[in-house]
Amino acid sequence: MPDIYYVNGRFTDPENAVVSVEDRGFLFGDGVYEVLRAYGRHIFRIDEHLDRLSRSLNAININFLAFSELKNLSYEALKRSGYDDALIYIQITRGVAKRSHVPPKDMHPTVVIIVYKTPVLPVDLFIKGAKAILYPDIRWSKCYIKSLQLLPNTLALSQASAESSIEAIMHRNGIVTECGSSNVFIVKDKQVKTHPADETILHGVSRKTVLEILQNQGMTVSENEFTIEELLESDEVFITNTLVEVMPITQIDDKPVSDGNPGQITLMLMEEWTNQRDVLFGRSKA
């Protein structure tokens, strides 16, 4: 079964899935994106992803309104792939124009959709937990926009990979913000904490899913800033994103988190996420 490529109104093969070198996404990183996940041919929280896409587009003044068409196209692309479980990448750029910092007014956005088979992550990362590194948050001040400009994130994640780590936990002025491609939570004395959803982090759909699960369990969550010291002294650390869902972090740089094993709340969240997904999408447990 093939990965599926869609560019500006056309489903095509990868060789013909091309955009102009004068696309502002290529020249300026002038665009935004989303990564969605399908389970059993249903796209998880698609409306929330499209809402965030809309907020990102508005924030950089790209005029795009065809969200119901985009929703249909995402399902059409998924169907064409034949994959039950898939990652759906959507990218919208401002479009093609002669290179100039100031874009012309009458631009037509470039729309790209790619459907990939969901990669299988090593099960040990979930059973034993994963390693992360600390890394300075060198990004701009509008990280709630899911911008194509991912150089700081790719530098952070490349460094993490060089140190055999799954993530880079980023910090600014001693405060932990989020990771290169995920949100981060800590647990201390059964109190869960994560950075507030302000302009300095991406408002993760998975972050919100976890907050809802915790609230449904009657647990309080503190959406407040926390320091690197609090991170390193916490009982549990976990990350969330569309691909990993919930993943325990059991080592940060050379230091184990607590006793170096995934904690109870993290394990509960991993189980609860799987249960909800299976109930929602009629998916049998692996």
Ligand X SMILES: Cc1ncc(COP(=O)(O)O)c(C=O)c1O
| Catalytic center residues | 33, 146, 178, 202
Residue 45 is which amino acid? R
Please give the residues from 1 up to 60 whose contact with ligand X meets the rule CB under 6 A.
Answer: 35
Which residue lies nearer to ligand X by CB, 50 or 97? 50
* CA distances (Å), origin 226, targets 42, 102, 177, 194: 36, 39, 8, 7
* Cβ 109 to ligand X shortest distance, Å: 21
Which residue among 74, 147, 165, 181 contacts ligand X (CB under 6 A)? 181
Is residue 240 close enough to count as binding ligand X by CB under 6 A? yes
Number of C-beta neighbours around residue 105 at 10 A: 6
* CA distances (Å), origin 110, targets 10, 32, 72: 12, 11, 17
**Cα–Cα nearest to 112, from 205, 23, 182:** 23
* Cβ 120 to ligand X shortest distance, Å: 18
Which residue lies nearer to ligand X by CB, 58 or 100? 58
Please give the residues from 204 up to 233 whose contact with ligand X meets the rule CB under 6 A.
Answer: 204-207
Which residue among 74, 147, 242, 251 contacts ligand X (CB under 6 A)? 242
Of 60-68, 90-98, 240-248, 277-285: span binding ligand X (CB under 6 A): 240-248
Which residue among 110, 241, 250, 251 contacts ligand X (CB under 6 A)? 241
Element (H, E) at 159: helix 151-162
Contact at 8 Å (CB) between 112 and 17? yes
* Cβ 52 to ligand X shortest distance, Å: 7
Contact at 8 Å (CB) between 33 and 49? no
Of 116-124, 130-138, 179-187, 230-238: span binding ligand X (CB under 6 A): 179-187
* DSSP 8-state code for residue 9: T
Give 122-127's long-range contacts (Cβ < 8 A, gap of 24+): 125/166, 125/244, 125/247, 126/247, 126/248, 126/262, 126/270, 127/262
Is residue 251 close enough to count as binding ligand X by CB under 6 A? no
Is residue 202 close enough to count as binding ligand X by CB under 6 A? yes
Using CB under 6 A, list all residues that contact ligand X.
35, 178, 181-183, 202, 204-207, 240-242
